[in-house]
C-alpha cells in the first residue's frame, strides 16, 4: 500500500470534522512536562534504597521506560488514524508502591471503525509488554533466591509471572522465594500496569479491544466484568482474613490483610464511576468489521489479560 493510499484509509476511519484533524502536538504541554518530572521524582522516591532519591534509578528508569513506551504506542497510533491526541498526562503518586497511577491521553473526535479502535487501544499494552518482558527477565537474573522469612511482603502472582520466574531462575525450592532486585520489581510493576489496563471493561485499553472484537455486545460484557471483579474481591478478602484468623493473628493484622484484598473492589468502583460519568460503557463506533488479523490479536490480548491477572496484588505474611 502506498503512503497516499494509507493516508486515505486513515482519513476514512475518523469523522471528517475540524476536531478530528491532527494539529501536531497540542499546544500548552507545560502541564505534561511538570507531571512527568513529578512522576520521575516519585518513582525515584519509592525505588530508593537509601536516604538519597537518586538511588532509586534502578527501579525508576526501567519502569518509566515501560510506561513511556506504553503511552507512546497509544499516541502514535492515534496520530496514525488521525485522531487528535494530547501528550500523556502522567500521574505521580509517591504514596503508592510504584510511585504513580500511570498516565492518560486525552483524545478528541470520534473513532469511527473497529480497526482504528483496536489499533489505538491495543498499541499501548503491546508496546509496554515489549519492554516489560526483557526488563523483568534481566531483573530476575539479578534477583537472589533465598529462604522466606517469618514476616515479609509478597508481590502478586500470575501465570505469566510464574512462567517468567521458572524460565529465568528454574525451580524454586520449597520454603524459598525470589527476592526482587529493583529492576525485577520494575518489570513486575510493568506487568501489573498492563494487566490493569487490559481489564476488558469500560474505556480501558482492554475495553477498547473487547469493543472492537464484540461490538455492541461489549456493553453487556463490560458490566459482567465489573461485577466479576467485585466477586473476586470478596473471595480474596475472605481468604486473606481466614488465613490470618487461622494463624491466630491479632485483629489489626486480620483487618490489614483483608484490606489488601480490596484492590479489585476499588477498581470495580472506578469503572462504575467512569461509566456513569460518560453515560455509557463505551462510545459506539460505526458498523464495521474487525479485520481477521486484528481479531486474532484481540483474542490474544484477552488471553494475555487472563495470564497476567493477579487475584492479590500485594500481601503480607
Of 77, 55, 59, give the one whose Cα is nearest residue 67: 59
User: What's this model's pTM, rounded to 2 decimal places?
Assistant: 0.86
98-136 confidence digits (pLDDT tens): 999 999 998 877 788 899 999 999 999 999 999 999 999
Task: Give the pLDDT band (50/70/90) at residue 208.
Answer: very high
Short-list 276, 263, 187, 184, CA closest to 229? 263
On the question of pLDDT at 24 being above 60, the answer is: no
Would you list the domain boundaries of the chain? 3-215+285-316, 221-282
- pLDDT tens for 31-65 read 999 999 999 999 999 998 777 778 899 999 999 99
Amino acid at each position: 500500500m502506498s503512503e497516499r493510499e494509507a493516508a486515505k484509509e486513515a482519513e476514512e476511519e475518523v469523522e471528517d470534522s475540524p476536531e478530528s484533524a491532527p494539529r501536531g502536538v497540542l499546544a500548552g504541554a507545560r502541564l505534561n512536562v511538570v507531571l512527568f518530572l513529578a512522576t520521575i521524582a516519585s518513582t525515584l522516591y519509592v525505588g530508593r534504597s537509601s536516604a538519597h532519591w537518586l538511588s532509586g534509578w534502578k527501579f525508576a528508569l526501567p519502569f518509566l521506560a515501560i510506561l513511556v513506551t506504553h503511552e507512546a504506542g497509544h499516541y502514535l497510533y492515534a496520530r496514525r488514524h488521525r485522531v487528535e491526541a494530547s501528550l500523556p498526562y502522567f500521574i505521580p503518586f509517591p504514596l503508592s508502591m510504584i510511585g504513580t497511577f500511570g498516565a492518560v491521553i486525552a483524545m478528541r473526535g470520534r473513532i469511527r471503525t473497529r480497526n482504528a479502535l483496536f489499533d489505538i487501544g491495543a498499541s499501548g499494552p503491546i508496546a509496554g509488554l515489549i519492554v516489560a518482558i526483557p526488563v523483568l527477565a534481566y531483573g530476575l537474573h539479578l534477583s537472589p533466591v533465598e529462604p522466606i522469612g517469618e514476616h515479609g511482603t509478597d508481590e502478586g502472582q500470575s501465570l505469566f509471572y510464574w512462567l517468567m520466574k521458572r524460565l529465568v531462575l528454574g525451580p524454586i525450592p520449597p520454603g524459598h522465594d525470589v527476592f526482587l532486585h529493583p529492576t525485577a520489581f520494575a518489570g513486575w510493576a510493568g506487568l501489573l500496569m498492563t494487566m490493569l489496563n487490559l481489564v476488558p471493561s469500560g474505556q480501558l485499553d482492554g475495553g477498547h479491544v473487547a469493543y472492537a472484537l464484540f461490538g455492541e455486545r461489549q456493553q453487556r460484557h463490560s458490566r459482567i466484568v465489573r461485577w466479576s471483579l467485585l466477586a473476586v474481591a470478596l473471595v480474596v478478602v475472605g481468604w486473606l482474613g481466614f488465613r490470618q484468623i487461622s494463624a491466630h493473628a491479632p485483629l489489626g493484622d486480620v483487618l490489614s490483610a483483608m484490606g489488601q484484598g480490596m484492590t479489585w473492589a476499588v477498581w470495580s468502583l472506578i469503572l462504575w464511576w467512569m461509566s456513569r460519568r460518560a453515560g455509557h460503557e463505551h462510545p459506539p463506533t460505526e458498523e464495521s468489521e474487525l479485520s481477521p488479523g486484528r481479531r486474532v490479536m484481540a483474542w490474544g490480548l484477552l488471553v494475555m489479560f487472563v495470564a497476567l491477572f493477579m487475584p492479590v496484588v500485594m500481601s503480607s505474611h
